[in-house]
Each structure stands twice: as structure tokens, then as C-alpha cells.
């Protein structure tokens, strides 16, 4: 399952693209999630991709570098 926490002007285009590709059953669009609501999906993820046009992202787990497993407060 691909979970996309995305809103804004590109969401509609992305949803249409997913539909055309026949991937709708495998993609969940959650819309905007504030920081506390992002922790659960982040912890459940096998892969996390966080992008930004400004160079900032919403969350950097434990300040870890790319390729390193994040250290979660729960000890995961």
C-alpha cells in the first residue's frame, strides 16, 4: 500500500494519474496530516520519502542521515 499524505494543487492530478494507471486499490490519499498524526504512518512505513521545494521537510526522525534506520522514541 502506498500512502500519500498530500494536498494542494497537485493532489487532483496525482489522483487522476493513479486512477488511469489502475493503481487506485493500492494507493491511499490521506490529505494533509499534521505532525502528531504523521507519526503513526511514519512508524509503520518501510520507506519514507519526504520532499520539499524549500529544502525543508515536515519531519526528520532523530536527525538521521539517508540510508540510516531512524530511531523512534518507542524504541522501534
Express each pLDDT in 11-55 by its tens digit.
999 999 999 999 999 999 999 888 888 888 888 888 877 776 665
56-66 CB burial, b ≥16 within 10 A, e <16? eeeeebeeeee
18: cell is 493513479
What average pLDDT score do residues 49-75 get?
A: 56
Q: Is residue 69 part of a domain?
A: no
Spatial contact of 76 and 48, defined as CB atoms under 8 Å apart: no
Q: Is residue 63 part of a domain?
A: no
Q: Is residue 31 part of a domain?
A: yes
The pLDDT of residue 56: 57
More confident residue, 71 or 38: 38
**Domain count of the chain?**
1
pTM value is 0.61
Q: Is residue 61 part of a domain?
A: no
* Residue span of the structural domain in which 23 resides: 2-51
Q: Is the pLDDT of residue 66 over 80?
A: no
Amino acid at each position: 500500500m502506498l500512502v500519500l499524505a498530500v494536498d494542494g494543487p497537485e493532489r487532483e492530478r496525482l489522483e487522476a494519474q493513479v486512477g488511469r494507471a489502475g493503481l487506485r486499490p493500492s494507493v491511499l490519499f490521506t490529505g494533509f496530516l499534521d505532525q502528531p498524526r504523521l507519526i503513526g504512518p511514519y512508524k509503520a512505513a518501510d520507506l519514507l520519502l519526504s520532499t520539499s521545494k524549500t529544502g525543508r521537510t515536515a519531519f526528520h526522525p532523530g536527525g538521521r542521515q539517508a540510508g540510516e534506520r531512524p530511531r523512534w522514541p518507542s524504541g522501534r
